[in-house]
Structure 1
């Protein structure tokens, strides 16, 4: 089962990258503009962005990811959507909040510090 999953993962990642770039980011950017005020802080902006991104991606990937995993387009992921989606949403939400975003912010902080040092030394 694990080896079968390893064969499918590259296709899922390509799908995720395409969905984020072409569908989710434009929608999330518009939604964040409507819900965030200019006086809201960085943490509020990050939280709202995570919430909208996770919601949209979990909705789309609950169906599309199932299709990729099964190797066929069927009605099963749509029929079991309300059973599967909440689990997918909460797993993705907590992974994003507790693991992915802190690592990404740490890496970006180090990258910007390195670039700032190079600019000062240049």
Structure 2
């Protein structure tokens, strides 16, 4: 997978990839889910924008300390060495979105309501499938493709620079 131009090749690129995905995801998933819950209006949207910085930090920490370790352990059980790029990406997205949507259906509700209550547990069977669906499709069709395109462009630029350096040394 290291030769794959659509994925990060090192830690710095991994951070960049994660930032792109998280910024796109939080700025789309939170407003859509909030709109579905409370109705789509300017007031609801502006209130959602106020909590997005907190949600972004929670999502980054959740990916790093919750979803990442869980998915890292579970993913190899679903994949074979012969599985291609698309299967690996799909399974990674499904598992990450499953873990994060389960967690964020509770934590996100608390942050959005600005109180810890039983509401997310009482309505879990209603809110989690919807939250999973919203997050899954935004990740599949929007956030992940843009982040992979960004990696591909970064690697193309790096390859051009390396080629120029080789030509100038010749």
Band of TM-score, shorter chain: over 0.9
RCO higher in structure (CA 8 A, sep ≥6): 2
Of 68, 73, 78, the residue aligned with 1:30 is 73
Equivalenced residue count is 122
- Shift in Å, 1:36: 0.5
* Structure 1: 5+ residue stretches without partners: none
Hey, what does 1:69 align to over in structure 2?
Answer: 112
Q: 1:45 aligned to 2:117?
A: no
Deviations 1:43-96 (A, max 9, x none): 110000000001111100000000001111111111100010010001111111
* Structure 2: 5+ residue stretches without partners: 1-42, 166-170
Hey, what does 2:135 align to over in structure 1?
Answer: 92
How far apart, CA to CA, are the structure 2 residues paired with 1:79 and 1:18? Answer: 25
SS at match of 1:40: coil
Of 53, 56, 80, the residue aligned with 2:123 is 80
How far apart, CA to CA, are the structure 1 residues paired with 2:75 and 2:158? Answer: 29
Q: 1:3 aligned to 2:53?
A: no
How far apart, CA to CA, are the structure 2 residues paired with 1:82 and 1:37? Answer: 32
How far apart, CA to CA, are the structure 1 residues paired with 2:146 and 2:46? Answer: 28
How far apart, CA to CA, are the structure 2 residues paired with 1:47 and 1:3? Answer: 33
TM-score, normalisation: structure 1? 0.96
How far apart, CA to CA, are the structure 1 residues paired with 2:46 and 2:160? Answer: 44
